[in-house]
Amino acid sequence: MYRTLYPLFKPIVSSKATGVMNVIHYSNIPGRIYFSSGAVISVKTNERKGTEAAEEIFSWISFFAQFKEKKLKMAATSKHVELTKKVMAHLARIEGQILQIKKNIKGCEAVFGFNHSMFNGGDGYTQEEKDIVSHIDGIKSVLEIWINSALSELDVLLIISHFVDRGLAYLLRAHEPLSVDEKRRFFKILTETLSEITGPVAEIIVDEVCAAMGKAREDFCKSDLGPLFNYICTGLEKEEQEALNAKSIIEQAFQ
């Protein structure tokens, strides 16, 4: 599931496309990246915009995203083009780091234990590394560790991956799975409920969102459900969003 925005940006930049990329992190933080003629012209989250939003979103590596072509009022300038080149170079550099993370950390629901006897009080380790050690308790997932730390997601996962390589951290469980029957029931109820709101396109909407998440229905686990609902809502009108009761659907599927 871990990836960068680089392979998603590349066709947009090369084709000089104009539109909006909706990005949703697995912690359910939504972001929007605006492109004009293949250049990034604006980046926003619900709480940040500009450089602060860009620094946050470009450090995400557990997310899903979908680009839609759309006319924008703002046009790209030469400054935007140069900044986009720097962004692409930055995202490309992360690609190599992700290979190491994917080898050691099996998804954002992974839970690790820690061998404190080998840590020796943290001598020779940075304050950031010591902070992450304080969160590796055999209970928190790597996603929860990131949420509770002051570091970027990329930095948190690189530190944990480094601990795994040194034999300090060890995997306790990879994710909280759903049974085959739970998945089948969930998607049946979701599609039926969505059909009452959007009509016959409900099945297409669900398939498109699964494709944007890069997951087949049989691969879904519990941490995928929040982002799934959030992403479905990005394509609905306000009244339709209010009608899509995620809590009710989940309760029916997993009662």
Show me where the domains of the chain are located. Answer: 6-104, 111-173, 180-253
Q: Which SS3 state, helix, strand or coil, does residue 235 take? A: coil
What letter represents residue 15's amino acid?
A: S
* Alpha carbon distance 43, 19 (integer Å): 12
Query: What letter represents residue 128's amino acid?
Result: E
Predicted local distance difference test score (pLDDT) of residue 1: 65
Question: Distance between CA atoms of 249 and 255, rounded to whole angstroms?
Answer: 10
Q: Average the pLDDT over 206-219 and give the result.
A: 83
C-alpha span between 156 and 175 (Å, rounded): 18
Q: What residues form DSSP beta bridges with 36? A: 39
Condensed to tens digits (0 to 9), the pLDDT of residues 135-168 reads 999 999 898 999 999 999 999 999 999 999 999 9
Helical ranges in the chain per DSSP H: 6-15, 51-57, 78-104, 116-119, 127-135, 142-148, 153-165, 180-198, 202-213, 225-234, 238-243, 246-253
Interval 47-74: pLDDT, tens: 889 999 999 999 998 888 889 999 999 9
12-16, 30-34, 186-190, 232-236: segment of lowest average pLDDT:
232-236
